[in-house]
Amino acid sequence: MTNITDDSKKLRELIRILERKLGVLEENQTSCCSVTLGQCHALVEIGRSGSISLNELAELLNLENSTMSRTVNNLVKAELAKRDIDPKDRRYVTISLTDSGAKLFTEIEESKNSYFGKIYNSIPHNKRVQVLESLGVLLEAIDKRDCC
């Protein structure tokens, strides 16, 4: 019989190693093109949506609005993003990318697609679907957690 405590510790250890290998724990890591990891994630989500509210962006990235606001402020200061006021409701502000931000978004997408493409291609062909399914199951379990 498998010991759940031992297996959960093994899961924790494997995720810890995965985080470290992906650079998740490096606070000041530049993901690419001189932006922080947080800014990189925000740029990608803004770029993929075209235009998004601060609340929606914070929810997508699982961050507090205040943290997301600081990240967006830094992107605006760097002229990578802009705030647009909705002409129908001046209280509603959306965030979109500037031309510089759109260019950086494209560079990030190409860089990350290449990086993860190489990782994916390193997985044995007969295990690729299993890895993707397992990661999906793991993400669902994380979404259902009641702790932390």
Q: Give the tens place of pLDDT for each residue, 90-118.
A: 778 899 999 999 999 999 999 889 989 99
d(Cα 68, Cα 54) in Å, to the nearest integer? 7
Q: Is there a contact between 62 and 106 (Cβ–Cβ < 8 Å)? A: no
The pLDDT, as a whole number, for residue 25 is 47
Measured from the Cβ of residue 145, the count of other Cβ atoms closer than 10 Å reads: 7
The structural domain count of the chain equals 1
Q: In the predicted model, is pLDDT for residue 125 greater than 90?
A: yes
Domain contains 44: yes
Domain contains 18: no
Burial 87-106 (b: 16+ CB within 10 A, else e): eeeeeeebbbbeeebbebbe
Longest CA span, the chain: 63
Task: Indicate which CATH number applies to the domain containing 64.
Answer: 1.10.10.10
Domain contains 115: yes
d(Cα 108, Cα 14) in Å, to the nearest integer? 26
d(Cα 32, Cα 142) in Å, to the nearest integer? 27
Domain contains 5: no
Out of 25-39, 45-59, 60-74, 129-143, pick the least confident: 25-39
- What predicted TM-score, i.e. pTM, was given to this entire model? 0.79
Domain contains 9: no
Out of 26-35, 67-76, 121-130, pick the least confident: 26-35
Q: Rounded mean pLDDT of the chain?
A: 86
d(Cα 83, Cα 94) in Å, to the nearest integer? 6
Domain contains 13: no
Domain contains 20: no
Question: What is the extent of the structural domain holding 139?
Answer: 26-144
Domain contains 104: yes
